[in-house]
């Protein structure tokens, strides 16, 4: 893992909000060390406009973000994954494909901001809360000395990050 960037996949059912936010955040935190992707078990086919708005407002590139099926990452030629994180409870309970590379997995569940009902300001606040939670978790992940921890210690830290 040390000779190349870590390939990290964030999963959610629809791949329209949480997992896309996580992909964008992780891609920016340390692009020399982390290559981030996102996917869903039942992708919606579009990224939530509130996610796009929040990311664009904070200077993230959004033109290439798309909602995609997790099968793309289990197919021949897919990147060898080092880590797979579920960010919604539904995806955590689903039977995932077999990922190339036998990645480490952890559940980092976050409430679905797109399920929030209310006015646009309330929805924006929910997306911001989700963004801040994911950003903190990804920063903690990026700070781990992954190459210096044994697999058990690393798995423990990943679970702890998901419950923070």
Task: Say which CATH number the domain at 63 has.
Answer: 3.40.50.2300
Establish if 132 belongs to a structural domain: yes
For residue 75, the enclosing domain spans 6-155
pTM: 0.93
Name the residue among 87, 83, 61 with its Cα closest to residue 144: 83
User: How many domains in the chain?
Assistant: 1
Establish if 161 belongs to a structural domain: no
Establish if 1 belongs to a structural domain: no
User: In the beta sheet, which residues pair with residue 104?
Assistant: 83
pLDDT in tens, the chain (164 residues): 457 899 999 999 999 999 999 999 999 998 999 999 999 999 999 999 999 999 999 999 999 999 999 999 988 889 999 999 999 876 555 566 777 778 999 999 999 999 999 999 999 999 999 999 999 999 999 999 877 889 899 999 999 999 98
Distance (Å) of CA 113 to CA 4, 68, 100, 122, 158: 33, 19, 30, 10, 23
Name the residue among 74, 76, 101, 77 with its Cα closest to residue 11: 74
Establish if 164 belongs to a structural domain: no
């Amino acid at each position: 893992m040390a000779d190349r960037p870590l390939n990290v996949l964030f999963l959610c059912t629809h791949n329209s909000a949480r997992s896309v936010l996580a992909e964008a955040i992780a891609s920016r935190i340390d692009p020399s060390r982390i290559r981030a992707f996102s996917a869903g078990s039942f992708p919606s086919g579009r990224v939530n406009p509130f996610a796009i708005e929040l990311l664009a407002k904070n200077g993230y590139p959004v033109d290439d973000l798309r909602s995609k099926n997790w099968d793309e990452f289990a197919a021949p030629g897919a990147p060898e994954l080092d880590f797979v994180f579920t960010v919604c409870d539904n995806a955590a309970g689903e039977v995932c494909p077999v990922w190339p590379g036998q990645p480490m997995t952890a559940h980092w569940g976050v409430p679905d901001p797109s399920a929030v009902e209310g006015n646009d300001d309330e929805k924006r606040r929910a997306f911001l809360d989700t963004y801040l939670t994911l950003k903190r978790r990804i920063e903690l992940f990026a700070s781990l000395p992954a190459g210096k921890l044994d697999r058990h210690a690393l798995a423990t830290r990943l679970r702890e990050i998901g419950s923070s």
